[in-house]
Amino acid sequence: MQNKLFDNQVAIVTGAGVGIGFEVARQLAQQGAKVILNDIDENLAELASQKIKEQGGICEAFGGDISTLEVIESIVEFAVEAFGKLNILVANAGITTFGDFLAYQPESMQKLLQVNLFGTFFLTQAAAKQMVLQGNGGSILLTSSVTAHAAHLNLAAYGMTKAAIDQLAKNLIVDLAPHNINVNTIVPGATLTERTLEDAEYIKTWSRITPSGRPATVEDIANAALFLVSPMSRQIMGQNLVIDGGWTSVGVSPY
Ligand SMILES: NC(=O)c1ccc[n+]([C@@H]2O[C@H](COP(=O)([O-])OP(=O)(O)OC[C@H]3O[C@@H](n4cnc5c(N)ncnc54)[C@H](O)[C@@H]3O)[C@@H](O)[C@H]2O)c1
């Protein structure tokens, strides 16, 4: 049988019931990784995991809110119990709260900080501790957004959390590169997912303003994610890889 890129690797992917996370989990499993698939919606996690198994992948569902310390600690323990180790973390779970800056409410901010920052930070810490204990390195991929790089109406708070995630990946190099753990972020632009497609105008709107002429697919984002957690990118550390069809490279045209 032909060797696959992620044979003998164990990966956790969070927020992976649908959307980008699901496609990353699916592709990792297709490439031989044993995957722990998390979603806050337990049924969705089970269904998604089942789909990956039906395609021949090895995958276990792990339902729960990944912004809580209890779930964070237990998912890492579960990976070790189920598959003996942890090599890859894709911290994909994140929430988007739109809101006018002048009216933005503390409750929305608290929820956003809890999931996007507290959850990402402590999950990364828990995964890194396990990788350090194992002593043979690992790969951690965090999920940012183009709104960390370019201003976007009604996304001040969300963009702020994603900019913090980009900086977290850079900071962690100092702590984790000595352990041969690389940390990077993917920075998706407008991407076609179950959530964004709720906007009937989404494809038309983003196709008009994206240099590539279309929004990203989940496959576009997963391709970049797999590269950044693969052996091909071991020398890439603390980087933020933008996948946006050129959207953040273009300024407002005077014409
Ligand atoms: N879709 C886009 O256009 C886009 C663009 C830039 C960045 N992103 C980022 O990519 C990531 C995935 O986005 P998406 O649009 O594919 O996903 P999504 O928003 O559709 O959510 C995917 C899954 O995450 C789960 N989830 C939410 N909170 C969770 C929690 N606390 N614990 C566990 N699971 C949780 C949801 O139940 C859902 O099934 C997010 O971090 C998002 O901010 C998305």
For residue 124, is pLDDT > 80? yes
How far does residue 20's CA lie from ligand 1's centre (Å)? 7
pTM beyond 0.75 = yes
Residue type, 240: N
Closest by Cα among 227, 252, 254 to 241: 227
Name the token pair of 122.
Answer: 């402590």
Across the range 34-55, mean pLDDT stands at 98
DSSP secondary structure letter of residue 114: I
CATH number of 10-190+218-242: 3.40.50.720
How far does residue 178's CA lie from ligand 1's centre (Å)? 31
Q: Which residues line ligand 1 (CB under 6 A)?
A: 14-15, 17-21, 38-41, 44, 65-67, 92-96, 115, 143, 145, 188, 190-191, 193-196
Q: 3-state DSSP call for residue 94?
A: coil
What is the sign, positive or negative, of the torsion defined by CA atoms of 20, 172, 139, 81? negative
Cβ contacts of 127-133, under 8 Å, gap ≥ 24: 127/12, 127/76, 127/86, 127/89, 128/172, 128/175, 128/176, 128/179, 128/181, 129/76, 130/76, 130/79, 130/80, 130/85, 130/86, 131/86, 131/87, 131/179, 131/181, 132/179, 132/181
For residue 1, is pLDDT > 80? no
Residue 2 confidence (pLDDT): 84
- 250 band by pLDDT with thresholds 50, 70 and 90: very high
Atom of ligand 1 nearest to the CA of 44: 39
- Tens of pLDDT, residue by residue over 59-101, are 999 999 999 999 999 999 999 999 999 999 999 999 999 999 9
For residue 6, is pLDDT > 80? yes
